[in-house]
Amino acid sequence: MTNTQPQTTRRRLLKVLAALSGAALPAAAQAAPRRAARVAVVLPRRSPYPAMAGTFMAGLTGSLDGQHVTLSTVQTGPTPRAVVEAARAALRDSPDLLVLLGDGLTHAAQPALLERPTPVLAAEFGVQRPDLHRPAPLALTASLHSWEAEWAHARTLARQGGVYLLISHLDSGYDLPFAVTSGLQAGRGTLSGTTLFDPAAPDHAALVRQIPESGAAHVHVLASGTGAATVEALRRAGFSVSAGGLTAPDLNVPRALAHASSGLSPVQALGFDTGRWISAALSGPLNPTTIHTALACATVTGSRGTLSVDGHGVLRAPLTLLGAGKAQPLTSPSLLTLEPAGLRSGWLHTYLHA
């Protein structure tokens, strides 16, 4: 008689091993390293703000985990058509997240954003108020809160007496001058006068004569990316001076931004905090709904302190008045307070793109 028991036992053992190895496959697959998240960034091709794209990207890459995130970039011009084309190019490779640098890009890129359900982070300076439009269902905003900061700063300037407002041609067509005048009005201050000037060729002698004639006790300068020479000339002439928006960020004059004393410029701080926000949201499954939910629920520690997302999908940072002695916290005005009472300035293209 042939003894088949060893053969039967061997076959049974092989079956058990095969079953065990098959059962182990899902666990092994789960333990395997996942792919890196793909993040596409749309940047301005040119900007009057010095090295804006490079400065933002330095902050972004400095806070992202490079082992788990791969970055690609696309450049855009200022017109809505150029923004749509750039967004479509950035979305062509199906990124997990799209970042748009500059105010107004989510609105301009709406046709492209509605074609593909991709989470979008609008890295904005905060001059166009994000609550006024929600052009894409998966869009959120990281902001410098410049509109709110100018309003809050101007309210403190109301105690100075008359305030003279110097505005560059770039900033004259935007909402920051309106924010300053609205904040002065809220603080019962006086706008003594306004002047448009060319930061590239300013007539400082004329300004030094003109401002005292208005009775102003203080000068506030809005000249995004420029204005350093004008601010210095006014200080040498003995004027009390402050700066707004992104005017000469390295000058030691009073300015209000959601920007802590981190050693970073405002644009670099915006990039750094955007990177922190992204890193916090890309630890889970890489699908649009999960990423958007993680972004909307995140609380992160960035260069500007503890940042959290409000009900409008905006990553909020505390407002601070810098350069006037000890840093002074400012109360962020409510959206109801900021509601425009009249005609606002018009801007046809995206902000700080040229």
Model confidence over 224-244: pLDDT tens digits? 777 888 988 999 999 999 988
Is residue 234 within 8 A of residue 207, CB to CB? The reply is yes
Tokens read off for 186: 């809220």
Give the Cα separation of 255 and 180 in Å (integer).
12
pLDDT at residue 50, as a whole number: 77
Which string of b and e fits 190-219 if b means at least 16 CB within 10 Å?
A: bbbbbeebebeebeeeebeeebeebebbbb
Express each pLDDT in 151-176 by its tens digit. Answer: 989 999 998 889 999 998 878 776 78
Q: State the pLDDT at residue 135.
A: 64
Angle at 198 between CA 196 and CA 200, to 5 degrees: 160
Range from 92-106, 263-277, 301-315, 336-350 carrying the lowest mean pLDDT: 336-350
- Which strands make up the sheet holding 97-101, listed edge to edge? 69-76, 37-44, 97-101, 120-124, 139-143, 314-316, 305-309, 299-302
Pairing of strands 241-244, 139-143: unpaired
- The DSSP symbol for 132 reads G
pLDDT digits (tens, 9 = 90+) for 252-270: 777 777 655 567 888 899 9
Assess contact for 315 and 303: CB atoms under 8 A. Answer: no
pLDDT tens digits for range 178-203? 889 889 998 999 999 999 998 888 89
Q: Phi and psi for 309 in degrees, rounded to 5?
A: -95, 130
**pLDDT at residue 239 in the model:** 92
Stretch 123-142: mean pLDDT: 73
| Sequential DSSP letters for 56-75 | HHHHHHHHS-TTTEEEEEEE
State the pLDDT confidence band at 54, using cuts at 50, 70 and 90.
very high
What's the farthest any 2 CA atoms get from each other in the chain?
123
Q: Which long-range contacts (CB under 8 A, 24 or more apart) does 247-253 make?
A: 247/221, 247/222, 247/223, 248/223, 251/323, 252/323, 253/323
Q: State the average pLDDT for the chain.
A: 81
H or E stretch at 139: strand 139-143
Most confident of 129-143, 250-264, 314-328: 314-328
- Across residues 63-84, what is the average pLDDT? 90
